[in-house]
Amino acid sequence: MATKYVGTKRFGLEGAESAVPILDEILSRAASAGLDSAVVGMAHRGRLNILANVMGKSLDSIFGEFEGYVDPSTVQGSGDVKYHLGASGQYVNPSGASIKIELAANPSHLETVDPLVLGMIRARQDQIDPPGSFPALPILIHGDAAFAGQGIVAECLGMSDINGYRVGGTIHLIVNNQIGFTTSPQFARSSLYCSDVAKTVQAPIFHVNGDDPEACVRVARLAWEYRQRFHKDVVIDMVCYRRHGHNEGDDPSYTQPLMYKAIAEKRSVRKLYVETLVGRGDITLEEAEQALNDFQGKLQIALDQTRSHAPVPTKVAKPPKPVGVLPHVDTGVQRAVLDTVFAQLTNYPEGFTVHPKLGKQFELRSKIYNEQSEVEWATAELLAYGSLVTEGVPVRLAGEDSRRGTFSHRHSALVDNNTERVWIPLSELPGAEKFWVYDSLLSEYAALGFEYGYAHANPEALVLWEAQFGDFVNGAQIIIDQYLVAAEDKWGQHNALVMLLPHGYEGQGPEHSSARIERFLTLCAEDNIQVVNATTAAQFFHVLRRQMHREIRKPLVIFTPKGPLRMKEVRSKISDLEPGTSFQEVLDDPFVTDAASVKRVVFCSGKVAWDAFAERDKRSAAAAIVRVEQLYPFPIEQMMDVLTHYPNAKEVVWLQEEPGNMGAWTFVEHRFWRVKEQGYDLRRVARVESGSPATGSKTVHDQELADLMDETFQGL
């Protein structure tokens, strides 16, 4: 590569070649031990070497990428650079034992792939029935600067022995080339060793000389045996160097002149090892040179074959035609199944003592269900999960405080008031699939990444991550930007992860009001994700079930309520959950009795609809309140259809509780062109544009809400 593609970025492994035999030794032993699979996560350094020498990617395909050839049959979306691409294959060791291996695709955001690999491994282990002794192996390859500097590493170590995240030990390999781009170690960390962060979980750390391949293999064997014996994380710190700059076009001598003078004089790992083998009499110099010539000849043949094929003309891919709003899927459930699931939720095991306050809450829940034939929000959610597991769909929900629910509404895991014994009702449905619910560590970044990886590895499971408050989701913004919204476009990867983000303006200040709807909508394109802001229990029930009953797999972002969780208006009839029912992207006003009298149609999304209903009724205003339950794909056809129900309406308002520069307006405005085209007077009602999402004063909040209502219904 260095001679044929001079100056081209390839992020070679020169100076750290011993990483390949380390990985080879670990995989060989994993295959011999009968492990099911291994997933490798790594950054760009040495990725092509691993693809060729471990993953079995053909040399001609690698050369083809460097030649700029594009196989039209393999292009997915916009694609990605060659040192980000993933691969999968079968590793076979010298004795013939094999193991499935996958190299996870990753962006340039260092260490971001770590929690995804762990989630992928956990999903594979959960699918093996009966579960073995951690039969899937995670291997993470790090750089020294990234291992010490990226907080996601510490987060992943922190989850390594937590029940909901445990994978039976990860083998970490640090390619310690003693530099980070141009930054020397003394400026990159405060600790003596780059690996010291692993001491937080008492992981053994093996420091080994990368110039000694045999020592590296011995350490790999030790690390493997430790993982298998104790099922804990273990670290290999391979001290080596980087022969070139950060990439092959970079000159590192500007910032490390002495280091690179020493490296220039240093014999390569291969040459040093050849000298050792020849000196011991293991091989002759002629045999070593012949092996080198044979390999170089193999490379030349592959290159010649690649260049001999006329490249297929590459065309810029046309963006796919938007699918938009898909046909409705019947997600209703037979009443008998709903009754069975509900009974499981409310019948405690013998000898189980429920908390007195919770007992009263469950009595009310039962009264609402059995006497009023209604469900409130939490019941509808648990019925959705329970009905899915009875249909053979595994369900995994994780997040900070998700077992109880931040707002003390879910109670999916009950704690005995006397013994603290934990009982998870949905995990004991007869003949059902698995239901898992976990309180996560106090993390957004690694926690969301883990669930994304889990959903990637098991697309037939409903996997949900919940933020404590939607405001905190930006702690995981890298996962959202690099994976959730872009992985399908870059790598052709589909994912059905569900994000539950509590959102709503209730006077709780700028840190507990907004899940940043505007950010998610800005990222919407090419039908990459679904964005929902449901307002009733039935809608929430159906959108959760729809996620698994559709053939497509797309991430789903749901903005969930806080205060309205217990509102009577949010409840739904049980009949709204039964067969023949489904999620509705737009909900027309159910309280309008005379459509001809309506002069103004108010479109809105989320909690503010209930404020608008109350204010409209108080004023007896001639307005219809229409709820847009799905913001993307945008249901413009359904919205236009609703407008036809009100023949005398001449005004259309988009009402939102967020500031004008936030919320859905900037996304909605240019999609409302058909409304303007048909002669409607369109305007926006929102809070004043602001750098902060919400005021910290409840008094100011209340006045702002009153102003919103005045502006919405003025003149009616």
The per-residue pLDDT for 663 is: 97
78 or 443, which is more confident: 443
C-alpha 3: how far from its chain's center? 40
Query: What letter would DSSP give residue 199?
Result: G
Alpha helices in 191-322 (DSSP H): 213-230, 257-265, 269-280, 285-308
pLDDT tens column, 34-46? 999 999 999 888 8
The per-residue pLDDT for 308 is: 84
Q: What is the mean pLDDT of residues 218-229?
A: 98
The per-residue pLDDT for 379 is: 98
Dihedral (C-alpha) 492, 393, 540, 655: value to the nearest 10 degrees? 0
Element housing 713 (H / E): helix 698-713
Closest to 603 in 3D by CA, of 627, 622, 572: 627
CA distance 111 to 149: 10
Are β-strands 205-209 and 37-42 bridged in parallel, bridged antiparallel, or unpaired? Answer: unpaired
- Is residue 33 domain-shared with residue 134, that is, in the same domain? yes
Residue 321: pLDDT band (50, 70, 90) is low
- Is residue 293 domain-shared with residue 340, that is, in the same domain? no
Whether the pLDDT of residue 325 is over 90: the answer is no
Residue 73: pLDDT band (50, 70, 90) is very low
Looking at the domain assignment, is residue 536 inside a domain? Answer: yes
Pick left, alpha or beta for residue 509 (phi over 0 → left; psi -120 to 50 → alpha; otherwise beta): left
Residue 611: pLDDT band (50, 70, 90) is very high
pLDDT tens column, 246-257? 777 788 889 999
Query: What letter would DSSP give residue 335?
Result: H
CA distance 409 to 358: 10
DSSP SS3 for 72: coil
Of 3-7, 340-344, 483-487, minimum mean pLDDT range: 3-7
The per-residue pLDDT for 248 is: 74
What's the Cα-to-Cα distance from 716 to each of 418, 597, 624, 651, 684, rounded to whole Å? 58, 11, 12, 11, 16
Closest to 632 in 3D by CA, of 550, 482, 530: 530
Looking at the domain assignment, is residue 623 inside a domain? Answer: yes
Per the CB < 8 A criterion, the answer to whether 410 and 450 are in contact is: no
Q: What is the mean pLDDT of residues 451-457?
A: 98
Per the CB < 8 A criterion, the answer to whether 629 and 542 are in contact is: no
Which amino acid belongs to residue 66?
A: F
Element housing 572 (H / E): strand 572-573
Residue finishing a domain among 272, 290, 308: 308
What's the Cα-to-Cα distance from 500 to each of 155, 466, 584, rounded to whole Å? 21, 5, 18
CATH code, domain with 542:
3.40.50.12470
- Is residue 159 domain-shared with residue 232, that is, in the same domain? yes
Whether the pLDDT of residue 347 is over 90: the answer is no
Per the CB < 8 A criterion, the answer to whether 167 and 136 are in contact is: yes
Whether the pLDDT of residue 69 is over 70: the answer is no
Looking at the domain assignment, is residue 70 inside a domain? Answer: yes
Whether the pLDDT of residue 156 is over 50: the answer is yes
- Is residue 263 domain-shared with residue 140, that is, in the same domain? yes
The per-residue pLDDT for 430 is: 82
Q: How many domains does the chain have?
A: 3
HSE-up of 461 (CA within 13 Å, CB side)?
A: 26
Element housing 519 (H / E): helix 517-522
Closest to 242 in 3D by CA, of 191, 181, 194: 181
Q: What is the mean pLDDT of residues 582-590?
A: 98
Closest to 555 in 3D by CA, of 451, 441, 690: 451
Whether the pLDDT of residue 397 is over 70: the answer is yes
Q: What is the mean pLDDT of residues 134-140?
A: 97
| Average pLDDT of the chain to the nearest whole number | 92
pLDDT tens column, 404-436? 999 999 999 999 999 999 999 999 998 778 999
Of 78-92, 158-172, 185-199, minimum mean pLDDT range: 78-92
Q: What is the mean pLDDT of residues 640-654?
A: 97
The per-residue pLDDT for 74 is: 43
Looking at the domain assignment, is residue 411 inside a domain? Answer: yes
- Is residue 549 domain-shared with residue 590, that is, in the same domain? no
Whether the pLDDT of residue 182 is over 60: the answer is yes
The domain in which residue 617 lies consists of 586-713
pLDDT tens column, 532-554? 999 999 999 999 999 999 989 99
The per-residue pLDDT for 433 is: 82
Whether the pLDDT of residue 452 is over 80: the answer is yes
CATH code, domain with 677:
3.40.50.11610
Whether the pLDDT of residue 83 is over 80: the answer is no
CA distance 604 to 621: 16
Q: Which residue has the tokens 């003949």?
A: 431
What the block records as the tokens of 28 is 């060989």
Looking at the domain assignment, is residue 315 inside a domain? Answer: no
Looking at the domain assignment, is residue 319 inside a domain? Answer: no
Alpha helices in 281-394 (DSSP H): 285-308, 335-346, 356-370, 377-390
- Is residue 402 domain-shared with residue 362, that is, in the same domain? yes
Residue 214: pLDDT band (50, 70, 90) is very high
Whether the pLDDT of residue 270 is over 90: the answer is yes
Q: Which residue has the tokens 């409705």?
A: 328
Per the CB < 8 A criterion, the answer to whether 357 and 555 are in contact is: no
Q: What is the mean pLDDT of residues 643-665?
A: 97
Whether the pLDDT of residue 5 is over 90: the answer is no
Which amino acid belongs to residue 186?
A: Q
